[in-house]
A and B are shown apart, each in its own frame.
Chain A
Amino acid sequence: GQQLNQSPQSMFIQEGEDVSMNCTSSSIFNTWLWYKQEPGEGPVLLIALYKAGELTSNGRLTAQFGITRKDSFLNISASIPSDVGIYFCAGTINNAGNMLTFGGGTRLMVKP
């Protein structure tokens, strides 16, 4: 089936640093979404992208839908300790079912 390759797998950064993570696929995606999951919780939607080239921000988070429709990135600026968690990219390939294909996640750790 379709796969999303997400990198890096983990990041350990200093508070205040900027963070960048990305997802790539060999398939074309119609939508890209970014979720954050904290321990014991379900994934929480951060940003949704619908058009190739689209750049969307949500506070300190910025995500882009790649021009080729096969990739997306998420940037977090000026990281804070509460940014800790696992970030997942996800996408849909067709409109009929809208089931999400998920990347493997990026585990972010922030050192105060």
Chain B
Amino acid sequence: DSGVTQTPKHLITATGQRVTLRCSPRSGDLSVYWYQQSLDQGLQFLIQYYNGEERAKGNILERFSAQQFPDLHSELNLSSLELGDSALYFCASSVRTGKSHWDAEAFFGQGTRLTVV
């Protein structure tokens, strides 16, 4: 158990809909990362938050957004869903300041499997 909790574990929704994925980081971790894993693209970084502020952005679509709340949990919002958004979405967290390369040790949750039909 990595200590990172993601809910829900599975989600099936229709095209055009909006969903929210939730992540609780490990206790004490300030950084939260979101990754997408699909068969054709592999594991891709989407976005990072550190202590409530956006720290880095990857190949995240404009239809997707995220936020980190004062209690450090994070939510990833996916809207106007398309079939191609079907994938595993992982949250990871890491400790320390967010400014040191030691923070690279990210611990992953079990993921949310999103299926868009």
Query: In whole angstroms, how far apart are the Cα atoms of A33 and B43 in the complex?
Result: 14
Q: Which residues in A have their C-beta under 8 angstroms from that of B58?
A: 99
User: Is A100 touching B56 in the complex (CB atoms < 8 A)?
Assistant: no
B27 to chain A, nearest CB (A): 17
Q: Which residues in B have their C-beta under 8 angstroms from that of A97?
A: 48, 55-56
Query: In whole angstroms, how far apart are the Cα atoms of A112 and B107 in the complex?
Result: 30
A104 to chain B, nearest CB (A): 5
User: Is A33 touching B111 in the complex (CB atoms < 8 A)?
Assistant: no
Question: Does B99 count as interface, using CB distance less than 8 angstroms?
Answer: yes
Chain B interface size, under 10 / 10 to 19 / 20 to 34 / 35 or more? 20 to 34
- The digit string for B76-117, where 1 denotes a CB below 8 A from any CB of A, is 000000000000001010100011111111111111000000
User: Is A98 touching B110 in the complex (CB atoms < 8 A)?
Assistant: no
By beta carbon, the residue of chain B nearest A40 is B110
Main secondary structure of the interface of A (DSSP, over half): loop
Query: In whole angstroms, how far apart are the Cα atoms of A40 and B112 in the complex?
Result: 10
By beta carbon, the residue of chain B nearest A41 is B110
Task: Count A interface residues, CB 8 Å.
Answer: 27
Question: Does B38 count as interface, using CB distance less than 8 angstroms?
Answer: no
Query: In whole angstroms, how far apart are the Cα atoms of A82 and B35 in the complex?
Result: 26
Q: Which residues in B have their C-beta under 8 angstroms from that of A50?
A: 101-102
User: Is B2 touching A95 in the complex (CB atoms < 8 A)?
Assistant: no
Question: Does B42 count as interface, using CB distance less than 8 angstroms?
Answer: yes
Question: Does A88 count as interface, using CB distance less than 8 angstroms?
Answer: yes
A29 to chain B, nearest CB (A): 10
Query: In whole angstroms, how far apart are the Cα atoms of A41 and B44 in the complex?
Result: 16
Which 6 A-B pairs have CB atoms at the shortest separation, nearest pair first?
A97-B56, A42-B108, A102-B43, A99-B45, A31-B104, A98-B103
**CB within 8 Å of B: which residues of A?**
1, 30-31, 33, 35, 40-45, 48, 50, 88, 90, 92, 95-105
A41-B110, A43-B43 given; name 7 further pairs at CB < 8 Å. Answer: A33-B105, A35-B108, A44-B108, A48-B104, A95-B101, A98-B101, A99-B33
9 A-B pairs (CB sep. < 8 Å): A41-B110, A41-B111, A92-B101, A95-B99, A98-B98, A98-B104, A99-B33, A99-B56, A105-B42
